[in-house]
Chains A and B, each alone.
Chain A
Amino acid sequence: MRVGSTIVLLDGYCYQSYQWKMMRPLGKLQRVIDSLEAYHCDEISIIRPIRINDSEESFKKDIEKIKKINCMTPLSFGGGLRDFKNIDLLHDLPIERLIFSSAFINKDFKLTEYARNLFGQQAIQCLLPFTIEDNLIKIFLSNEDKFIPIEDMDLAAINENANEIILYDTKNESASNQFDEQIINKLNIDNEKLIISGGIGHLNIKKVKRKNIASVLIDNKVLHKEYSIKGYKNG
């Protein structure tokens, strides 16, 4: 199982996101990446926290930052990949995988197919930001800034079109050992395709290791402690 980290990037600067609401500043992208590499992070997901409003200017600013990244660790990137024009801007970036969220939830498979033709099937990841309330799973639809029932989605099509699926616990984001593992059993998706994030702690990692999932992405906490990744890997 891979152990990686998420980075929230907006307007060229990195942030930490708390409970999907508040963002605290983190630092400059290259410095953050340098430390994650030094900690032997297996992968880094750079996510733009985009809701309804995204501007072309902001997207381009972030792309410019990513273009300049010096990094050996596999990178994935998403947040605001909503039309063909956005995808065309991703050529020649040092990223291996693309993260789509609204496109999959809205069943806009033309967009993901377009990306797949350009970057290959292995490059396509789906991000499902979720919350579980009263036993009901809701998925956050970022381009409408609201949670929708999971039943409104075509999970089978997502399973077919996405190479990997990131389950992101929004309610427990930034907490420790709070990732709601119920979600893994409740969705009918191959565990080998799953990546989990949001509130991940050592205990979560210990438990999910047995479930044979592909990867865990630590949110925020990787830089809170020197060489923290090793602790998670040994978790």
Chain B
Amino acid sequence: MVENCSKCLYDIKHPFGLSLYKDKCTGCITHEEKYQINWGNKEDELRSILENYKKKSKVYDCVIPVIGDAEDFYVLSKVLELGMSPLVVSVNDYFKNDIGWYNLHQLITFFDVDSIVFNPDMRVYKELVRTSLRKYDHILLPFLQLHTSFPVHIAKERKIPLIIWGQNQAIEQVGKFSHHDKVQMSAWSRKEHDLFGIDINTLIGNGAQVQEKYLNYYEYPNISALEKSGVKGIYLSNYMKWDPLKQNHSTIKYGYKPQRNNSSFDIYERAGSSVYYQLHDLLKFKRVGYRKVRDHLVREIRHGRISKNDAIVLEKQYNKSKVDINGFFNWLGMTKSAKKWFVMHRLNGFEDLIGYSDSCQKIDLPKKIEKLIQVSEIEKNEFIVFGKGV
């Protein structure tokens, strides 16, 4: 019997792990801390931590890993407000559409910060994506490997002692730790939460046609060397009352462009991706039994913007939305027959959700959510591998 949380939509099979205490899940219990914590004190604590890192490095005080998401705009605005001098580091996932490139460019130019965008070797990257799809029904694992390790390498190599991440997903979703634990970035957490236990060596196994010498940045730096270099990573969500929808809505003033999609009402998270609400969402459904919209609905239940009953109804509606998988298979260079084989054998049972719809479905949302998601755009071009948002 699967045990469910009495307050939200998660059950104990959540891929991050979830416990129930008196019928309430650890995610909901940890969320309640947000209303008990004195966030003024927490912010003071953050200020005093950051004070120790200011001017430790010659040029930059910290690294901010970004993908061009609304959360990145929010994090960068806060870090600059706190008087830090950041270096923005991004990894090209080769899945961005015109909105994705626009947002990344806007982030860098609006805040006028220095940046590094790493373009991984395309042949190696595609081979890893192919292997990841074949072995784990996941197309973002190679990107996640890079996104969670490349900024750490940069910090270590350039002697920048601090990395600042936005939210700690494991806390926000399942309450894996208390905010009071003040957990930091670690190799263990990366593997356990960001990579679902699949590091690059496990990913390539004996199946990928990739030479190890090309995988340096896919691997996390040696933790002993990292410790000696003094690099630490902190999460802002441990020090600020985290409310993604509200925060992301506020980033429109910085020129962030949200994007409408069929699979969720959230127009901010991963806007600008050609795959996130398409094949990636379908594969998530297959792997874990629910689509991204459940994460969004749970978050909104906890923030009191939707009732559990209404969320159940909405999830059912969004679960019917179709995804376009052609773009991805074209990007990967798969033939029509290979795609047909994949759908028949690996997406068996999900055929009804594969298709193309040119307009976003209209689903009625609660007013409290509606008012935070008013303006959004639709992409014009997908899978722009190299781009500038100008």
Contacts and interface: CB of A to CB of B under 8 A. Distances in A.
B176 A24 contact: yes
A85 interface: no
A10 to B, nearest CB: 10
Given A27-B17, A35-B188, A224 B29 contact: no
A230 B19 CA distance: 30
Contacts of A220: 181
Contacts of B233: 226
A38 B16 CA distance: 22
Contacts of A136: none
Contact of B19 (A23, A31, A39): A23
A24 B186 contact: no
A66 B108 CA distance: 49
Given A225-B183, A226-B227, A25 B26 contact: yes
Contacts of B187: 35, 38, 226
Interface residues of A, number: 27
B197 to A, nearest CB: 6
A22 B180 CA distance: 15
Contacts of B183: 224-225
A22 B226 CA distance: 33
Given A31-B197, A226-B226, A25 B188 contact: no
Interface in A1-48: 13, 15-16, 18, 21-28, 31-32, 34-35, 38-39
B192 A24 contact: no
SS of B interface (majority)? mixed
Interface string A199-235: 0000000000000000000001101111100100000
Interface string B183-222: 1111111011000010000000000000000000000000
A36 to B, nearest CB: 9
B181 A23 contact: no
B36 interface: no
B334 interface: no
A223 B188 contact: yes
Contacts of B19: 15, 22-25
B202 to A, nearest CB: 11
A136 B257 CA distance: 62
A9 to B, nearest CB: 13
B174 A25 contact: yes
B17 A26 contact: yes
A57 to B, nearest CB: 14
Given A25-B18, A26-B17, A223 B186 contact: yes
Nearest to B192: A27
Interface of A: 13, 15-16, 18, 21-28, 31-32, 34-35, 38-39, 174, 220-221, 223-227, 230
Closest 6 CB pairs of A and B: A25-B17, A35-B188, A227-B227, A226-B186, A224-B183, A27-B192
Interface of B: 16-19, 21, 26, 29-30, 174-178, 181-189, 191-192, 197, 223-224, 226-227, 232-233
Given A225-B184, A226-B184, 7 more contacts: A18-B178, A24-B176, A24-B178, A25-B174, A31-B191, A224-B182, A230-B227
6 contacts: A21-B21, A23-B21, A24-B176, A24-B177, A223-B188, A224-B182
